Chains A and B, each alone.
Chain A
Amino acid sequence: MSADPQLDGPVTIDVSDGASTPPAPSADGTVVFDADQLSVFYGSFRAVRDVSLQIKQHEITAFIGPSGCGKTTVLRCFNRMNDLIETARVDGQLTYHGVDLYDPAVNPVEVRRRIGMVFQKPNPFPKSIFDNVAYGPRLAGTKKKSDLEDVVESSLRRAALWDEVKDRLSSSAMGMSGGQQQRLCIARALATNPEVVLMDEPCSALDPIATGRIEDLMAEIKTDYTIVIVTHNMQQAARVSDRCAFFTTEVNEESDVRTGTLVEYDRTDKIFSNPGDQRTENYVTGRFG
């Protein structure tokens, strides 16, 4: 599988770059994504408008806000997942390590190999546990059994699932519990060794214990990965994230068109203790939404 030169050339996606700068979240960390006046349209309907924010390396960034405010839509721009929706169109600029993600020369398949995704509902393949995790590496060209075994084990260990499944790797993933399935999906996303992991409400279908395990897992892996998470759970955002973006829905009084917009983006402690916008304060204190 030949990598797209547009991505491989000017972009440095190696981990050494991250290793030279300490992974501790700092105000001037490496910028992974830079969105500038990003708008997303479904047909002629503008779902989100004018989102500008920067995602920093080795941080957990949380997107919060009421339903329908465009958090997921924005998240799915980051790995070109919106391409799968025929009518979706993106306006404004979104760069990944300085490269315009929506440049026609960019190959979305190569983007998705570097930017993994975990979905709202656990969606394992109807295959064995091993084949689920090995799917991405196989697509990327890993053929040797021992290499695949190594990557499956290390990915499952990272997803805190190895001890539970190591004796039944060949059994179907469909027989696992919901929490296990979601950790398997995280392992599957980590197996392609992505730089970024996008998580779209990864715990919304899980009980508090499974949620706790996944939150621990996120805190553990963030030294190696950059994580963007959409969540409806404000406590979760407060617990796990370094930065927090609050989105809301603006309703046009005349046309009744609802458009998502970014209200405030700041360090999580500031968003929750001393937000700069009244709407953010109302939301995080539970008076709205």
Chain B
Amino acid sequence: MTVVAPELDRVPSAAAIRQRRLDVSGAVFKGALLAALALTVALLVLLITDQIVDGWDVLSTRLGDFLTSNVSSRAGSAGVMQGIIGTLTIAVIVAAVAFPIGVGAALYLEEYAQPSRLTRFIDINIRNLSGVPSVVYGILGFTILVKALGSFTGGASVLAGGLTLAILVLPIVIIASAEAIRAVPGALREAGYGVGGTRWEVTRGLVLPNAMPGILTGTVLALARAMGEAAPLILVGALQGFFTGGQWGDLTGPFTALPITIFQWAKQPSDAWRVNTSAAIVVLLVMVLLVNTTAILLRNHFEKRR
């Protein structure tokens, strides 16, 4: 068998192995990748600086007042406190409901269910559900949580809104958790069963801790999504005008959330409201950032324990 490599001397000279070839396609590809990354970062920076600049009048002069005031009909005294309370309450409800149910469903699908046509069907449909437009979930939330279960949720309440968004992000949590669970090496499970672990012992002691970083990452993404949703909350009945309720712990009363406040103010014609809108956007971005940071710290904590 002969190997044909006509261009190369089999015993090269020093110059031959030192020569540099111009790798055009490689350079172009690398440039394209860099451009894609640069464009993404540039857009984000542009978006954030634009909002900070637009909202600067409010952020620099009356930030404390802005954060602690209720919504108002006067732009100069309007604040986002009810929005912050609503959004944080929704985040807590979503985390408390979607995390345990989502992880439980994923664990059952991955560790317990026998692979069958039915489980495959369920798996595919969970994926489909994660692609259903959020407005549809809003209608679901209105029909079931506001109307049918109104005596429990208090109607158009932050509880109804939070539960609606929990249902909305549930498929995302399940998919992310299932993928994290699937990524746990089979050798680890075998090791656990090999020393006499039951399915529950192996799942709880080995599979779940090792999947936890991935599960938390997925949950955070879901949480950030829920915090930014406006459409389902509008259908559930978040208030767009000014009102006096929406305080801490009022789960069944009228409520609003930051995306709703932003949506409502953005519709106003005057410049003063435009400044308020940008300032509210900055507040929402900071809140999402804080939630993400918390979750990343949690994830690092779990990763260190491995």
Binding site for B on A (CB under 8 A): 79, 81, 84, 86, 109-110, 112-113, 116-117, 119, 121, 123-127, 135-136, 139-140, 172, 174, 185, 188-189, 191-192
Contacts and interface: CB of A to CB of B under 8 A. Distances in A.
A140 to B, nearest CB: 7
Given A79-B194, A117-B194, A123-B190, 5 more contacts: A116-B194, A123-B185, A125-B206, A139-B195, A191-B195
Contacts of B306: 126-127, 172, 174
Interface residues of B, number: 20
6 contacts: A86-B114, A109-B196, A119-B194, A123-B188, A126-B188, A135-B205
B198 interface: yes
A123 B80 CA distance: 53
A123 B190 CA distance: 9
B107 to A, nearest CB: 16
B195 A136 contact: yes
Contacts, number: 63
B189 interface: yes
B188 A125 contact: yes
A136 B205 CA distance: 12
B194 A112 contact: yes
Contacts of B188: 123, 125-126
Given A121-B187, A185-B191, A126 B196 contact: no
A189 B194 contact: yes
A109 B195 CA distance: 9
The 3 closest A-B pairs by CB, nearest first: A113-B196, A136-B195, A123-B187
B114 to A, nearest CB: 6
Given A86-B114, A86-B115, A109-B198, A125 B193 contact: no
Contacts of B206: 125
B195 A188 contact: yes
A81 B196 CA distance: 10
Contacts of B194: 79, 81, 112, 116-117, 119, 189
Contacts of B185: 123
Given A86-B114, A126-B210, A116 B191 contact: no
Contacts of A79: 194
Interface string B179-193: 000000101111111
A82 B66 CA distance: 64
A86 B190 CA distance: 14
B197 interface: yes
B201 interface: yes
A109 B200 CA distance: 11
B115 A112 contact: no
- A125, A140, A188, A189 interface centre (most CB from chain B within 10 Å): A125
Contact of B193 (A84, A189, A192): A84
Given A119-B187, A125-B188, A139 B193 contact: no
B108 to A, nearest CB: 15
